[in-house]
Structure 1
């Protein structure tokens, strides 16, 4: 698999990584969810070069994750707002935050707490089954080919020929 071809792979994970899989894109998205909207704000928060930031923002706009809206005419300047497609990345971002809060914090504790506005409580994001509402554990999930799978479903292991897959999530 080539990095630039990930978006075309018959794998939802590979396609998603092709969109958000580099560190700068993830950090730009973090800033979007923290309500940063302007180029200067992203640059200041991240310390990213103007060229890289412009490139990543352009890609996120092209893919429909961000919408570019003018807020000033002379000189012309834009804000970057999450679209619904971008907002739908929130569970992924929260899963990354939760993993970091669980495994990467030091003695100072979590750098940010997340509070649910409806109930007013700080929370940990949890993943549950959309059908029964039970928490999802890797050992309790089985995968099988869907309508978009290649036939027969194959996986590639590094340095090994492709083999028919019989997979479970753990």
Structure 2
């Protein structure tokens, strides 16, 4: 039986998982080789209760598989599934955006090297179908059969930690968008061409006090700017920093559509020229497709994204 028309679509399901900062951090640690409870606690300043809850969520959503390796007492390890391994382009896009645009008072993010060419690099978003760059202005978006703002809002709101509690290698400014369901849907609306407060309010169904706060925060973080038209109307436009967030959006939605697709069809379709956009990250030095196994963290040589 197909799900009801009001059920969350792939966007809502994907953001429901990745919109939690601890889930993102656990995925980052897992890509670096962590599998056991103690190792996750060593790498992250997370309480045992929060860690257990996030590991259970990631297992329930199919990103981890729980494997018992000791019976008395029972101990388990958490291994990335193909769905979990598929998040590496998202994490790489987040690292690059945070490295270029975010203020990291706790220290610089570790550099990456592409083993195939031996160079430090930045990932470039291209369309895998044609191999041509795919910036936000190069693509168009349209709702699919399961699309719509009401179905694209995650069911749960998640929390971000304060900046003061952070360490290098985390995602503070990404979580200003991903870590709040209303921020995520507002930035998505701007990418689709929504500009005016009244349009946000009517199309997204956001309470006015929450909408005002979300717009204020996105302006404060520099992702949006406010322009006043000749008619005196305030419009919200993406800044250069905001447009640079598009690779995170593209890789996240592509991953979500792959793993949380509904039988009726996609939530949103991106068109690149005369064909659908298939997001891919290439090395900006050698212009070859990036692979997870070829990406080295220079600060810690045995870690990989």
Superposition TM-score tier, normalisation by shorter sequence: 0.7 to 0.9
Could you tell me which of 190, 201, 224 is aligned with 1:159? 201
Partner of 2:20: 22
Quick one: distance in 2 between partners of 1:42 and 1:113?
22
TM-score w.r.t. the length of structure 2 is 0.45
State yes or no: 1:56 paired with 2:54.
yes
Partner of 1:85: 83
For residues 113-146 of structure 1, give each alpha carbon's deviation from its aligned partner in whole angstroms, at most 9, with x where no partner exists.
2233344333322211122111111112111233
Shift of 1:158: 4.8
Could you tell me which of 61, 74, 77 is aligned with 1:76? 74
Partner of 1:34: 32
Quick one: distance in 2 between partners of 1:159 and 1:72?
53
Could you tell me which of 79, 94, 97 is aligned with 1:96? 94
Shift of 1:38: 0.9
Residues 148 and 51 from structure 1, CA distance in 2 versus in 1: closer, same or farther, beyond 3 angstroms?
same
Structure 1: unaligned runs, 5 residues or longer: 1-7, 164-168
Q: Which moved more, 1:131-140 or 1:55-64?
A: 131-140
State yes or no: 1:148 paired with 2:146.
yes
Shift of 1:72: 2.6
SS in 2 for 1:64: coil
For the aligned residues, what is the CA RMSD? 3.0
Quick one: distance in 1 between partners of 2:132 and 2:125?
9
Partner of 1:116: 114
Shift of 1:23: 1.1
Residues 141 and 58 from structure 1, CA distance in 2 versus in 1: closer, same or farther, beyond 3 angstroms?
same
Partner of 1:5: none
Residues 107 and 121 from structure 1, CA distance in 2 versus in 1: closer, same or farther, beyond 3 angstroms?
farther
Partner of 1:43: 41
Partner of 2:231: none
Residues 144 and 41 from structure 1, CA distance in 2 versus in 1: closer, same or farther, beyond 3 angstroms?
same
Quick one: distance in 2 between partners of 1:65 and 1:148?
23
Quick one: distance in 1 between partners of 2:126 and 2:116?
19
The structure, 1 or 2, with the larger RCO (C-alpha pairs under 8 Å, 6+ apart) is 2
State the aligned residue count: 155
SS in 1 for 2:112: coil
Shift of 1:54: 0.3
